[in-house]
Amino acid sequence: MTLQVAIGVVSFERAKVTRHCIESIAACTPADRYRLYLVDNGSRSADVVQLLQWCRQRPEIIVQVLDTNYGPAHARNCILQMIGTSADVVVFLDNDIIALEGWLQAGLAALEAGADLVQPKLLHRDGRTVERGPTRVRADPLAANPEYLGIGLDTDDPLVNLAGEAAIVGTAGIARRDVFDKVGGYDARLH
């Protein structure tokens, strides 16, 4: 059985960066495997208006524009509503992520092996070292951002290839759709 995949990208301004993200997904992801949902958080620039027009011409992209910047958590929840039950797997990528060949297959393989959620490694431009690996909640109770593990390590280092609990998810995640139903989506207070 082929899993239906929904990819969610949130944008705010930075049209060039968002377009590179979308083009990288299209370049290394079979078109029949996914539908992309783009929610723009109230951008106003002419570059973003052109980007949104370009996106609306692509049949695999569904666009929603919010009237103001409500933050990425709110926008991701909008994407979850747009997707409904049409996908088995939901992927969220920040708009500055560049997908590499095999990214989706690796994530789906981890889900098929029993994981509920996969945090892809974010690599430095050299493609060999990790910029951000798995995340964990910071020990400081006032810190809202996760602690990223494995910064600067080789992509094959065991620390960045561990399976474990994820109490917080950073900039990218691949999850079974029902995971979002169980946790109630994203906490929209996180801007």
pTM for this model (two decimals): 0.86
Identify whether the C-beta of residue 104 lies closer than 8 Å to the C-beta of residue 21. no
Q: Which residues contact 73 (CB under 8 A, 6 or more apart)?
A: 186, 187, 188, 189, 190, 191
Burial string for 162-190 (b: 16+ CB within 10 Å, else e) reads: eeeebeebbbbbbbbbebbeeeeebeeee
**E strand or H helix that includes residue 32:** none
Confidence of residue 30 (pLDDT cuts 50, 70, 90): confident
What's the pLDDT tens digit per position in 39-97? 999 999 999 999 999 999 999 999 999 999 999 999 999 999 999 989 999 999 999 88
Q: Which of 135, 118, 116 is nearest to 181 (CA)?
A: 116
> What's the rounded Cα separation, in Å, for the pair 8 and 31?
15
Q: Reduced to 3 states, what is the DSSP secondary structure of residue 74?
A: helix
Q: Is the pLDDT of residue 142 over 70?
A: no
Residue matched to tokens 């910047």: 69
pLDDT at 169: 63
Identify whether the C-beta of residue 73 lies closer than 8 Å to the C-beta of residue 188. yes
Structure tokens at 110: 């981890």
What's the pLDDT tens digit per position in 158-180? 777 766 666 566 668 899 999 98
pLDDT at 162: 66
Residue matched to tokens 């620390």: 159
pLDDT at 117: 87
